[in-house]
Structure 1
Amino acid sequence: MMYKFLFWLWLFIWCVQPKQSIAQTLESTSQEFLIRTISQVDFKQLIEKIKTTHPLIAPSIEMVRCIAPTLSVWCVRYTNRATLPQFLTALHAFPAVTDIQTNHLLTKPRGRLISDPLYTQQWQLVNDNINQNTLDIDIDAEEAWQINTGGYTTHQDTIVVAVIDEGVLDSHPDLTHNIWRNTHEIPDNGIDDDQNGWIDDVLGWNFKTNTNNVNNDGIGHWHGTPVAGIIGAEGNNGIGISGVNWRIKLMSLVKGQDEASIIAAYDYILTMRKKYNESGGKQGAFVVVAHASWGVDSLKAADAPLWCAIYDELGKVGVLSVAATTNNNTNVDTEGDMPTTCTSNYLVTVTNTNNFDEKITGAGYGKQSIDLAAPGFNSFTTLNTGTYGVFGGTSAAAPYVSGAIALLYAMPANRLMDSVKAAPAQTALRLKQCILAGVDPVAGLQAFTVSGGRLNLYGSIQQLSAYYGLHQSASILGSLNAYPNPIKEHLFLKVSLTGATRLTIQITNLSGKTIKSRQLGTLPQGIHRIRLEMAHLPNGIYLCVVQGSAGRQVIKLIKK
């Protein structure tokens, strides 16, 4: 008798004890539970018994389904928090029920499942309203990555961005695989193996010391590494952040303190791209962008004619140059700035915006001189210490544009690389036009920039497709994002299409029952933002199914 008494005492404690902790956990998770039973037990019959003997509980049991028949695991949805303890106690009363736990909610993938743990802090790439950022104020990087993540052309040319700065930490774990190496030069043999005029320029050249040491070893010269990270930190590698290009080659050129060193650095880029063009890719480097996140405040272009002239020379061989404007709130059209007031068609000039699509007060502008804005404010990127942190100013805005141009060259466009080989200068100008025509128009930027907008990478790809055409994938239904999630009174869907298609949107519960349905008809290629009324949707977990004529996307939604 004593053993029987102890058994029933233990069973009573086991039945009652978990209910508080489970109910408390539920406050921060969901109202679904996973229940395991002894095999061969019909759990639905147990639920029917609870409904019969506990009429107050019955209306709140919304869904019962077996999710793992072999393991005898069931999923139950319960909707009334007030009577939740009674429901859990009733479940525990059945000896056939061996385990009960909350059906914990998993972190929502943000478009493409990106493994970089600090990626969520890069609001410039995708802004889904996390950390008090304004919804969708971003460059639509995830939509672009659905097509290509950068690094190589369709002809397998290795795409290179030259970063003229103060050196790049080539040992940074998120940069080391993306550092450009001159494969035509034998290291440390004291010979100019590739006959380009520089000896042992394996990683680039230091025009400050006139040596081949371009490494940024963590002591001073902090500026180049954050710039490089925005352009091309290795993406989806399970560490740190993602650059605009996941795979790219970053050529490091260290500038000195005078204009002569700048012109010399640009001349290096010119030499390498010319050799590439003339050898059919067997020598030199396929440099597509020369990047400068620095300049001279208030210097007039007329007073630096040799500096300005280099941009046309680079453009002739197919290199676009990107430059950040001043971090002073001045009209550079009248006050001057170098190099952003140079008039070369091959120069792309950039000012800085924040997470509200506003031009930063401390950023230059010019309706004639500044081409576009990019979201540089509080950019989370690689640091010269080998870690990560915040970097800002126009110096952070411009690298997004350089990264965007480089990514365009990687797109699977039908005729792009044929055009590059036959007419590099004209192709470079066409890609600049893709960047400017693809911006998100922003009313507050109309008076400050040539384009009147902020960089949108996916918009630029659409412009590229209009010129050259893109290889069609099996599905023209690209990325799907839902904001906010958990749902409030309204749900906003952002759907990217790589071609025209008919769209149907369905909101279903987990049992597959359709709660809402909407037919949108045929939509053209591009990004579409769709608003759905959700105020009367009961709390719970749902699936949003977007069906196109050549593709289907599903995303999990939460209403609480």
Structure 2
Amino acid sequence: MKNILFLVFTAVSAFSLQAQNNDWIVKFDKSADISLLKTPTSDITEISLLSKSLNVYNVKTSRKVKRNELQAHFKSAESISENLNLEKREVIPNDLFYADQWNLKVIAADKVWEETTGGKTFNGDDIVIAVMDDGFDVSHSDLKENYWINKGEIPGDGLDNDGNGYIDDVMGVNIQNNTGVHAGVSHGTLVSGILGAKGDNGLGIAGINWDAKILLVSGVSNIGEIIKSLEYIYDLKKKYIETNGAEGANVVVNNFSGGIKKQFPSAFPSWCEQYEILGEVGILSVGAVANENFDVEIEGDMPTLCNSDYLIMVTNTNINDVKVSDAAFGTVSVDLGAPGEVIISSEIGDDYDNISGTSASAPHVAGAIALLYSIPCQNFADIADQNPSEIALTVKRAILDGVDDIPSLSESLSGGRLNIFNAVFELNEICGSVAINPLEITKVRPSLFKRSEQSDITFEYDTDVFTRHTVLVRDNNGRLVIDEDFKPLIFGNREYSLTVDHLDSGIYFLSVIEGDKISTERFVVVD
């Protein structure tokens, strides 16, 4: 591992909260004639499209104006909101560096890796995670293999080859300047490492997903840019569905670790509505609550209070499995907690460092969602293809129902902290998982084995651990005759077959061992 540099993050940044009364978000009625609305006036200097789906525009004025002045001018406007800058939801690390990735063990990612390390669905489709942030290190050795590449673009030709309105968006887009050139910034690099750093490659860290593709959307610093970014992600997924995977991107989740505190959805309806249209194409959105200890239901927080079934909001827990004091809460709108204190991740300059705050908590959940999409379950993969919005809500329920109950998170909707392994089992109705019970051989068939008629015996078993187990078979004198390992299945019937037709006639004892647990049953071999 490279030397770790400790960062001191400044409180003043491009994400600081600042009203912009000459910069507005306007949603027009569907019947509005936009060509007339674009007629220049002495006050209105620019009108640009943010969301075609919702008919939302960014309106800029030469002077600071009041909302009612714009309403008088745009009589067909359904809503008018200030385009406020955002705050970066990250706090200064105040503890020593933890060499171990404790966070991954707490959320049980390592247990899920026994089944899948992410990357593709059971049907072989790439799983894409969109990350909206300020910038990224596009050449980081632990990330570059996992960045999504737009196959519809020809790099460097200066053309919009795929016709999506962006030139050379080969590796995502910089939403501020409409190019594919991303600023090399720490925050987005750190967030990306948590959810998707390359795993098992001998470098730095392992992400929750070892191989999933990360779609980069940089330059996100105000509400207008959020809406525009979400629209870009929506268009890619919509094209993917319409072309049966030939174009676009199979985005299943997007992560944005920023927001605006002490604000309510009534002031920003277009922002909230964008999460709904993403959900319709099967994209869950994950966000970070404010890094202050207040009740969002009373004092407000955006996008936390957006009323969308497809939005998941995350607060922060520490290495002691306790909600940190400087993190918002809410029994309705804050869904769950996830680790976010002193989390080692990828840093610009091909380095590694710590990140703390809800900025680090949110990508744990986004990464978990992507990992669930890779489970080896045919029915899940088929539903995801046929009804992406339904499976998105199923995954959200699995995430929330699978949490570990934590007393300090009682003032959240789920009352708990992320546990990906538990979430896998919440999908049992779709994937045919059986109940989890302590280790026990429940049946050996046949118990009387006839070598002239059969070659294998099969034993059925229960287990509550899904790492490798050992199977031993001894004869009546205690001599070891079979020694094999197997990995229990999470989904489907739990059974394992052994070839025993080479054994002599006699009584045998079959044992399954996991750690210090053992279960033994006997069977008989006859000619």
TM-score exceeds 0.5: yes
Percent of residue pairs bearing the same amino acid type: 41
Find the counterpart in structure 2 of residue 454 from structure 1. Answer: 417
- Say which of 158, 161, 169 aligns to 1:190: 158
CA 1:193–1:545: 2 relative to 1, 3 Å: same
Map 1:312-391 → 2, pairs under 5 A:
312-391=276-355
What is the TM-score of this pair, normalised by structure 2? 0.65
How many residues are matched?
362
Find the counterpart in structure 2 of residue 553 from structure 1. Answer: none
Asked if 2 retains the 8 angstrom alpha-carbon contact of 1:204 and 1:251, the reply is: yes
Secondary structure in 1 aligned to 2:130? Answer: strand
Find the counterpart in structure 2 of residue 177 from structure 1. Answer: 145
Asked if 1 retains the 8 angstrom alpha-carbon contact of 2:127 and 2:373, the reply is: yes
Secondary structure in 2 aligned to 1:124? Answer: helix
What is the TM-score of this pair, normalised by structure 1? 0.61
Asked if 2 retains the 8 angstrom alpha-carbon contact of 1:408 and 1:464, the reply is: no
- Say which of 187, 208, 211 aligns to 2:176: 208
Instruction: Give me the whole-angstrom Cα distance separating, in 2, the residues matched to 1:208 and 1:449.
Output: 34
Instruction: Give me the whole-angstrom Cα distance separating, in 2, the residues matched to 1:174 and 1:342.
Output: 34
Find the counterpart in structure 1 of residue 195 from structure 2. Answer: 231
Secondary structure in 2 aligned to 1:497? Answer: coil
Residues 192-224 of structure 1 show CA distances to partners (whole Å, capped at 9, x for unaligned) of 2222222211011111222221252xxxx3210
Instruction: Give me the whole-angstrom Cα distance separating, in 1, the residues matched to 2:409 and 2:315.
Output: 10
Instruction: Give me the whole-angstrom Cα distance separating, in 1, the residues matched to 2:406 and 2:434.
Output: 31
Find the counterpart in structure 1 of residue 87 from structure 2. Answer: none
Max Rg structure: 1
Secondary structure in 1 aligned to 2:253? Answer: strand
- The answer on 1:121 being equivalent to 2:97 is no
Instruction: Give me the whole-angstrom Cα distance separating, in 2, the residues matched to 1:230 and 1:380.
Output: 8
Instruction: Give me the whole-angstrom Cα distance separating, in 2, the residues matched to 1:469 and 1:238.
Output: 36
**Counterpart amino acid of 2:126?**
T
Instruction: Give me the whole-angstrom Cα distance separating, in 1, the residues matched to 2:146 and 2:121.
Output: 16
Find the counterpart in structure 2 of residue 310 from structure 1. Answer: 274
Higher RCO by CA contacts (8 Å cutoff, separation 6 or greater): 2
Instruction: Give me the whole-angstrom Cα distance separating, in 2, the residues matched to 1:267 and 1:549.
Output: 58
CA 1:120–1:465: 2 relative to 1, 3 Å: farther
Asked if 2 retains the 8 angstrom alpha-carbon contact of 1:411 and 1:470, the reply is: no
Moved more, 170-179 or 207-216: 207-216
> Which structure 1 residue ranges, 5 or more long, are not aligned?
1-117, 127-137, 478-494, 505-511, 513-523, 527-542, 551-560
Asked if 2 retains the 8 angstrom alpha-carbon contact of 1:155 and 1:417, the reply is: yes
CA 1:382–1:301: 2 relative to 1, 3 Å: same
> Which structure 2 residue ranges, 5 or more long, are not aligned?
1-96, 441-462, 473-479, 481-489, 493-513, 522-527
Asked if 2 retains the 8 angstrom alpha-carbon contact of 1:119 and 1:242, the reply is: no
What is the CA distance between 1:149 and its match in structure 2? Answer: 0.2
Instruction: Give me the whole-angstrom Cα distance separating, in 1, the residues matched to 2:211 and 2:360.
Output: 19
The alignment's C-alpha RMSD in Å is 2.8
Find the counterpart in structure 2 of residue 114 from structure 1. Answer: none
CA 1:357–1:503: 2 relative to 1, 3 Å: farther
Residues 117-143 of structure 1 show CA distances to partners (whole Å, capped at 9, x for unaligned) of x995110112xxxxxxxxxxx001111
Asked if 2 retains the 8 angstrom alpha-carbon contact of 1:143 and 1:496, the reply is: no
**Counterpart amino acid of 2:222?**
D
Instruction: Give me the whole-angstrom Cα distance separating, in 2, the residues matched to 1:294 and 1:469.
Output: 38
- The answer on 1:424 being equivalent to 2:388 is yes
What is the CA distance between 1:548 and its match in structure 2? Answer: 5.8
Instruction: Give me the whole-angstrom Cα distance separating, in 1, the residues matched to 2:100 and 2:519.
Output: 32
Find the counterpart in structure 1 of residue 40 from structure 2. Answer: none
- The answer on 1:443 being equivalent to 2:407 is yes
CA 1:119–1:417: 2 relative to 1, 3 Å: farther
Asked if 2 retains the 8 angstrom alpha-carbon contact of 1:119 and 1:240, the reply is: no
**Counterpart amino acid of 1:228?**
S
Structure richer in helix, relative to its length = 1
Instruction: Give me the whole-angstrom Cα distance separating, in 2, the residues matched to 1:277 and 1:372.
Output: 30
Instruction: Give me the whole-angstrom Cα distance separating, in 2, the residues matched to 1:284 and 1:372.
Output: 31
